[in-house]
């Protein structure tokens, strides 16, 4: 008999939380009861699930009573505070923040790459950083066939990755500038309209940002490849939704463009859109609302001997966050890892 589960979303009012509600609906996730949780600021606000209105509740220990699966997207400090409580109440937490990702007791999972890692969870499973998810989905098939030694990546990240306030910042600053007015973003470190900001998350002692180091460390953990050398530059661009990445890899064995196209077109969760002479390549505006990772501009790299370059685009709110989290929850059900 099919089982149904009680699911809570912490951060339901946020950009990712709202997408989680949509993705659960679309994938017909077997839900008995859904609970929408946020901060006390949002208590009483209503959100729709399957056309029905649900009141948002302020998070509390009691809110996790009888919850089987808790999807968290409410930032790192909220997760640090509430994930152990949710686990104590019997829920399995799938957490979208960076709070637990590098904890050696917490699996970090991208279902197309390391699904089996969910099996050793101890209550919390971490959802990787959005830019990391789309990159590893595209690179894992190449790594398995030709062993990647080195990755150089530059990202062009949408404002939705910085949350609902950053989306408002882009909208308001664009409008203000076109009207000759001044606006300074609230959620971003610099002007975003008609600009590019080479700064996401905080700077570290090594002069890389935390976002860039997430791409380095999380990729190694997910791909079980501690020796891959990775260098990342992450930039915020004035795009509402959909992250783009220029990725170059050096492989141990040579790889041709044709081989790469074949590997990628057979890979789960990847769509190859690569016909440059007909202007076919993935772009954020076109991947908005889609769950796959799109790859184009596949070409031999001119700087490395066994080098391959490509352009990787995905909806960061979906595959980079909500969809990946719901896929992890589906794996928990598939492997019968939820106590009922
Ligand atoms: P709220 O809307 O009540 O502030 P985003 O990343 O789009 O800004 O969304 C962040 C989400 O995390 C929102 O749903 C927000 O709720 C929630 N959140 C932020 N801080 C807390 C907190 N301390 N406790 C519970 N939820 C929080």
Q: Whose CA is nearest to atom 8 of ligand 1?
A: 163
Please give the number of the atom of ligand 1 that sits closest to the Cα of 164. 7
What's the CA gap between 83 and 78, in Å, rounded?
Answer: 8
Query: How far does the centroid of ligand 1 lie from the alpha carbon of residue 78, in Å?
Result: 8
Q: Which class would CATH give 132-316?
A: alpha beta
> Which of these is catalytic: 121, 130, 143, 234?
130
Mutate to test the pocket of ligand 1, among 8, 13, 18 (most ligand atoms within 8 A of CB): 13
CA–centroid distance, residue 48 to ligand 1 (Å) = 17
Q: What pLDDT is stored for residue 339 in this prediction?
A: 78
Ligand 1 shell residues, CB under 6 Å: 11-15, 17, 38-39, 41-42, 59, 74-75, 78, 163-165
| Atom of ligand 1 minimally distant from the CA of 162 | 6
Q: What ranges do the domains of the chain cover?
A: 5-128+321-334, 132-316
Q: Distance between CA atoms of 154 and 233, rounded to whole angstroms?
A: 5
The residue whose CA is least distant from atom 19 of ligand 1 is 74
Which of ligand 1's atoms lies nearest the C-alpha of 59? 25
Catalytic residue among 121, 143, 234, 243: 243
Q: Give kind and range of the element (H or E) at residue 284.
A: helix 284-287
Q: Calculate how far, in angstroms, residue 296's C-alpha sits from the geometric centre of ligand 1.
A: 35
130 is catalytic: yes
Indicate if 234 belongs to the active site: no
Distance of CA 29 to the CA centre of its chain: 19
Q: Whose CA is nearest to atom 9 of ligand 1?
A: 14
Distance CA 93, CA 128 (A): 14
What spacing in Å lies between the alpha carbon of 163 and ligand 1's midpoint?
9
The per-residue pLDDT for 337 is 95
Instruction: Determine the pLDDT at residue 1.
Output: 60
How many CB atoms are closer than 10 A to CB 53?
8
Q: Which of 62, 76, 80, 77 is nearest to 8 (CA)?
A: 62
Model pLDDT, residue 203: 98
How close is the Cα of 72 to the center of ligand 1, in Å?
Answer: 10
pTM of the model: 0.98
Tens digit of each residue's pLDDT, the chain (340 residues)? 679 999 999 999 999 999 999 999 999 999 999 999 999 999 889 999 999 999 999 999 999 999 999 999 999 999 999 999 999 999 999 999 999 999 999 999 999 999 999 999 999 999 999 999 999 999 999 999 999 999 999 999 999 999 999 999 999 999 999 999 999 999 999 999 999 999 999 999 999 999 999 999 999 999 999 999 999 999 999 999 999 999 999 999 999 999 999 999 999 999 999 999 999 999 999 999 999 999 999 999 999 999 999 999 999 999 999 999 999 999 999 999 997 6
Residue by residue, DSSP assigns 271-321 as: EE--BGGGTB---HHHHTT--SEEEEEEEE-SSSTTEEEEEEEE-TTIIII
Atom 6 of ligand 1: nearest residue by CA position: 163
Whether 16 contacts 24, CB under 8 Å: no
Q: What is the pLDDT of residues 52-100, one digit of tens each?
A: 999 999 999 999 999 999 999 999 999 999 999 999 999 999 999 999 9
Distance 276 CA to ligand 1 centre (A): 41
5-128+321-334 belongs to which CATH class?
alpha beta
């Amino acid at each position: 008999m099919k089982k149904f589960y009680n699911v809570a979303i912490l951060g339901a009012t946020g950009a990712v939380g709202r997408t989680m509600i949509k993705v659960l609906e679309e994938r017909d996730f077997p839900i008995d009861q859904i609970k929408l949780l946020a901060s006390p600021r949002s208590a009483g606000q209503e959100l729709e699930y399957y056309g029905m209105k649900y009141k948002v509740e302020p998070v509390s220990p009691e809110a996790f009573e009888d919850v089987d699966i808790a999807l968290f997207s409410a930032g790192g400090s909220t997760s640090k505070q509430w994930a152990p409580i949710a686990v104590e109440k019997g829920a399995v937490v799938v957490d979208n923040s960076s709070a637990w990702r590098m904890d050696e007791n917490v699996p970090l999972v991208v279902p197309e790459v390391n699904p089996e890692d969910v099996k050793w969870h101890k209550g919390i499973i971490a959802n990787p950083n959005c830019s990391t998810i789309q990159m590893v989905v595209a690179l894992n098939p190449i790594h398995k066939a030709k062993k990647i030694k080195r990755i150089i990546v530059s990202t062009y990240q949408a404002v939705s990755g910085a949350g609902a306030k950053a989306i408002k910042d882009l909208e308001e600053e664009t409008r203000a500038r076109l009207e000759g007015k001044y606006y300074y973003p609230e959620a971003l470190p610099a002007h975003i309209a008609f600009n590019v900001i080479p700064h996401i998350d905080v700077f570290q002692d090594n002069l890389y940002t935390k976002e860039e180091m997430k791409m380095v460390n999380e990729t190694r953990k997910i791909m079980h490849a501690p020796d891959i050398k990775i260098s990342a530059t992450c930039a915020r661009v004035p795009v509402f939704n959909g992250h783009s990445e220029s990725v170059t890899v050096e492989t141990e064995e040579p790889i041709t463009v044709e081989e790469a196209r074949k590997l990628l077109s057979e890979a789960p969760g990847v769509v190859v859109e690569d016909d440059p002479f007909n202007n076919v390549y993935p772009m954020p505006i076109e991947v908005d609302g889609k769950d796959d990772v799109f790859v184009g501009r596949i070409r031999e790299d001119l700087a490395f001997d066994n080098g391959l370059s490509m352009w990787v685009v995905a909806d960061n709110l979906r595959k980079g966050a909500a969809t990946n989290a719901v896929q992890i929850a589906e794996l928990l059900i598939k492997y019968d890892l939820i106590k009922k």
